[in-house]
Structure 1
Amino acid sequence: MKLSYLAFKNLVSKPLNLLLSLMLLSLSVSLVTFVLQLSQQLGGQLSKNIAPFDMVVGAKGSPLQLVLSSVLHVDVPTGNINLKEVASLQKHPFVQTAIPVSYGDNYKGFRILGTEAGYLKHYDAQLSEGTLFEKPFEVVAGINVAQQLGLKIGDSFISSHGLASTGIEAHDEHPFIIKGILKPTGTVVDQLLVTNLESIWLAHDHEDEGSKEEGHHEGGTIHKEDHGHENNHKENAETLEVHEEEKEITSLLVKFKSPLGMVQLPRFINENTSMQAALPGFEVQRLVRLLGSGVQTINGIALAILLVSGLSIFISLLKTIRERKQELALLRTYGLRTGQLLGLALLEGLFLALIGFALGWLFGRFGIWGVSQYMQNTYGYGLQIKAPEPSEIYLLGLILVLAAIATLLASRSIFKLNVAKTLSDA
């Protein structure tokens, strides 16, 4: 009979002991692998999305909120700023590029971003089909938006107020038209509907005009029959004028020519203007540090559970070996040497470690899947279910070593086994 088969049968012969050891071991492994994957993928996503820009300029408020809303698109903006105020920044000698962005509407929960074509170039976003926007209310869709909403070239849609899906169609006088669909980038662009700034200005300028003419809104929707010139609005949609002094944007995304700009320009803006400047790299590092304390706490708990699981393996095997003294003595009479008996016990411990690691790894990935579904529905970000990574292989090695040590400590009585006495006592 093979030792591996005998070891497996011995392991499952005590289901309660096996279940307790597996629960502790799989819990510690699932916590460690879940936290590792979550921190790595979130850190990677954050770094990838902030990389194209060095500074964000927006309305006064929380700098972290400004970065989260304007760069990562997971928060509400701090307010709007006047386009004329940032004109000098766009021409500043320290500035390489300055991309204005403006938003405030959504389509079924996906944000509509008004900006320039240069915004897409910063994320290396390329078209998979169609063309870029050229006229107002022409849109290119990120790949995730197109796939989830089933959008195709030529489709039209009506935007809703706000950044969350409310189901209230607000700008029915100005339907957006899909002109292009972007290739996957793995960045925030995949979650956006991108148009030009004029689209945002015209939509909201007409909304203001409609408010003055009608004096009321019903459910957030402007009713065309109340003012009776629907056709005129459609014909003149692209000719509505937004007064120069009233043009506003949500923020300005800046790329510096040299590190000197990062040192001097943010401080100047914060101290001498009505706007604020935030550095995405600094704010994200601060956010990661806050998350890091939680990660360390969870890893500490997981390590403690792992040590307890090692102790559980030791106690379980010690109890099993003592209960099976007669069986071990009988195996010696069949020709098995002390080293083989020790190998049998060691196989039991390693089998337990491997099964516990496999279950814990699966539970950890299931947790990642659950968080990914929540993030996808709430923020539009998803996480990947990845194969075992080097850090997890090291964890497996640590668990195997821990199980081997626990097994060897529990198996010391094998070396003192008196075959004749044990069999006679039986």
Structure 2
Amino acid sequence: MNLGYLAYRNMISKPLNLVLSLLLLVLSVSLVTFILQLSKQLNGELNKNIAPVDMVVGAKGSPLQLVLSSVLHIDAPTGNIKLEEAEQIKKHPFVGSAIPISYGDNYKGYRILGTEMDYFENYNAVLKEGRFFSTSFEVVIGGSVAKKLGLKVGDSFTSSHGLAATGGEAHEDHPFTVVGLLEPTGTVIDQLLVCNLESIWDAHAHEDGEHDENREAHGDEEHDHEEDAHEHSEDGHDHEHGDDEHDHEHGDEEDDHEEEHAEELEITSLLVKFESPLGLVQLPRFINENTNMQAALPGFEIQRLMGLMGSGVKTINGIALAILLVSGFSIFISLLKTIRERRQELALLRTYGLGTRKLLYLVLVEGLLLAFFGFLLGWLLGRLALLLVSEYIESGYGYVLALNGPDFTEFLFFVATLVIAIVAVILASTSIFKLNISKTLSDV
């Protein structure tokens, strides 16, 4: 006699009981597996992307916002800081390397990041095609951006002001040219369009201040020229002497103008890697207390963020485990009810030579089949939910969640599900040992 087939027939003989037990089990398993995978993959993605950066220096504000915007590129920046002040941080003995970054424009929702060549090394980015930028308005495209937007080496595009895909003013006078495509790295650089810092400065300087600066410079030159002519007529100096003084003064003015321009340059933030572990202890506090800038530690901020998310994850997992226990209780009630309703059938099977152990095995197979298929359906539903959430996260933040196979934690959860089903079967099967064959058959 095929006990497996008999257990299967017994399961489907009560479809309502079967559906109720399966629904509870599927809901519990899908919730647990979905939350476990979501939190695990998000934590892994965040840690992978912050690994090259020990400290972020930026404008005063929320340290978490500074990390999210400057390292993970999923938030608005807290503001800008002076390049001159950031350069002082780079010279600190505790700093091993410091990479300035600047942004404020986008192309179809993807951020255009101005930085230095070291940024590529931070994320081990290598070229798939073309070359790295060498002059202003040359841009290197991340793997995901190139794939989604269909950009190729030699293409040109105009950026829009701001970080949103819509509503920004286009910089029509300064188109960017694609000079290189990057291999996918699985990091934030895949979602960026990377150029040099001068591209960001030039795009906004021409837009915001070029006319005012030219007007001021032209006015100063006319004023100086009038003063020189006046001095020459009054003092009787020869033209050569006057020209020398004018050239000298004009050169000094140009130098002063360049220094003033350098002082006005700003960046969004500075990505720092420490030379010494002492930098982690002393440098952030020094910056926060003695400068008008802010220092944030990505590791600490992401840990704090995951801690806030962790309480929610624990709550949802607690609810899911409670549903799993209710599911086990439902299996127990369903089997207990089935055994009592089929006492005559079980007694008849005993008369055909089926011992108590085999009857118990029959009920156990039924409970395990229910637990196995319930877990399988719940696992598949959890992965389907992860796929839907991955599409949303990818479209909004650029992160892709992988649909991995079962991991060790899920295997342990599967074992726990089977244990609960076995306990429910054993408790429900106690009446089999008390089965009175003659009395049961005589009541038919």
Aligned to 2:208: 208
Give, in whole Å, the separation in 2 of the partners of 1:364 and 1:210: 56
Aligned to 1:158: 158
Do the aligned partners of residues 210 and 12 (structure 1) sit closer, same or farther apart at CA in structure 2, a change above 3 Å counting? Answer: farther
Give, in whole Å, the separation in 2 of the partners of 1:201 and 1:344: 76
Aligned to 2:312: 294
Question: Residues 285-327 of structure 1: CA distance to partner in whole angstroms, max 9, x if unpaired?
Answer: 1111111111111111111111111100000000001001111
Q: Describe how 1:148-227 pairs up with structure 2 within 5 A.
A: 148-166=148-166, 168=168, 170-209=170-209
SS in 2 for 1:56: strand
Letter in 2 for 1:86: A
Give, in whole Å, the separation in 2 of the partners of 1:328 and 1:92: 83
Quick one: which of 270, 276, 280 aligns to 1:262? 280
In 2, are the aligned partners of 1:369 and 1:385 still within 8 Å (CA)?
yes
Q: Describe how 1:8-407 pairs up with structure 2 within 5 A.
A: 8-166=8-166, 168=168, 170-209=170-209, 243-407=261-425
Tell me how far 1:169 sits from its aligned partner.
5.2
Aligned to 2:234: none
Give, in whole Å, the separation in 2 of the partners of 1:394 and 1:212: 69
Give, in whole Å, the separation in 2 of the partners of 1:47 and 1:363: 27
Do the aligned partners of residues 241 and 93 (structure 1) sit closer, same or farther apart at CA in structure 2, a change above 3 Å counting? Answer: closer
SS in 2 for 1:243: helix
Give, in whole Å, the separation in 2 of the partners of 1:211 and 1:74: 34
Tell me how far 1:334 sits from its aligned partner.
2.2
SS in 1 for 2:295: strand
Letter in 1 for 2:26: S
Tell me how far 1:80 sits from its aligned partner.
0.4
Tell me how far 1:76 sits from its aligned partner.
0.2
Give, in whole Å, the separation in 2 of the partners of 1:146 and 1:332: 71
Give, in whole Å, the separation in 1 of the partners of 2:195 and 2:365: 63
- Could you tell me the TM-score, scaled by structure 2's length? 0.88
Give, in whole Å, the separation in 2 of the partners of 1:108 and 1:333: 77
SS in 2 for 1:179: strand
Give, in whole Å, the separation in 2 of the partners of 1:361 and 1:336: 36
The 10-residue stretch of structure 1 (88-97 or 310-319) with the greater mean CA deviation from structure 2: 88-97
Letter in 2 for 1:245: E
Aligned to 1:3: 3
Letter in 1 for 2:132: L
Letter in 2 for 1:58: G
In 2, are the aligned partners of 1:80 and 1:251 still within 8 Å (CA)?
yes
SS in 1 for 2:96: strand
Identity, in percent, stands at: 69
Give, in whole Å, the separation in 1 of the partners of 2:388 and 2:50: 25
Give, in whole Å, the separation in 2 of the partners of 1:179 and 1:38: 36
Structure 1 alignment gaps of length 5 or more: 214-239
Aligned to 1:237: none
Give, in whole Å, the separation in 2 of the partners of 1:259 and 1:31: 41
Question: Residues 347-391 of structure 1: CA distance to partner in whole angstroms, max 9, x if unpaired?
Answer: 110011011101111111111112111111111112111101110
SS in 2 for 1:403: helix
Letter in 2 for 1:339: R
Give, in whole Å, the separation in 2 of the partners of 1:241 and 1:261: 31
Letter in 1 for 2:420: L
In 2, are the aligned partners of 1:25 and 1:360 still within 8 Å (CA)?
yes
Tell me how far 1:168 sits from its aligned partner.
4.6
Do the aligned partners of residues 201 and 331 (structure 1) sit closer, same or farther apart at CA in structure 2, a change above 3 Å counting? Answer: same
Tell me how far 1:335 sits from its aligned partner.
2.1
RMSD (Å), alpha carbons: 1.6
SS in 1 for 2:71: helix
SS in 2 for 1:170: coil
Question: Residues 97-130 of structure 1: CA distance to partner in whole angstroms, max 9, x if unpaired?
Answer: 0000000111111111000010110111111111
Tell me how far 1:271 sits from its aligned partner.
0.8
In 1, are the aligned partners of 2:162 and 2:168 still within 8 Å (CA)?
no
The 10-residue stretch of structure 1 (409-418 or 162-171) with the greater mean CA deviation from structure 2: 162-171
Tell me how far 1:333 sits from its aligned partner.
2.1
Give, in whole Å, the separation in 1 of the partners of 2:207 and 2:19: 64
Give, in whole Å, the separation in 2 of the partners of 1:168 and 1:247: 22
Question: Residues 133-183 of structure 1: CA distance to partner in whole angstroms, max 9, x if unpaired?
Answer: 111111111111111111111111111111110065511111111111111
SS in 1 for 2:106: strand
Letter in 2 for 1:128: K
SS in 1 for 2:112: strand
Letter in 2 for 1:398: A
- Could you tell me the TM-score, scaled by structure 1's length? 0.91
Aligned to 1:425: 443
Letter in 2 for 1:141: I
SS in 2 for 1:72: coil
Give, in whole Å, the separation in 2 of the partners of 1:57 and 1:10: 67
Give, in whole Å, the separation in 2 of the partners of 1:151 and 1:211: 34
Structure 2 alignment gaps of length 5 or more: 214-257
Do the aligned partners of residues 270 and 188 (structure 1) sit closer, same or farther apart at CA in structure 2, a change above 3 Å counting? Answer: same
In 2, are the aligned partners of 1:158 and 1:169 still within 8 Å (CA)?
no
The 10-residue stretch of structure 1 (170-179 or 115-124) with the greater mean CA deviation from structure 2: 170-179
SS in 1 for 2:431: helix
Give, in whole Å, the separation in 2 of the partners of 1:287 and 1:143: 28
SS in 1 for 2:364: helix
The 10-residue stretch of structure 1 (178-187 or 341-350) with the greater mean CA deviation from structure 2: 178-187
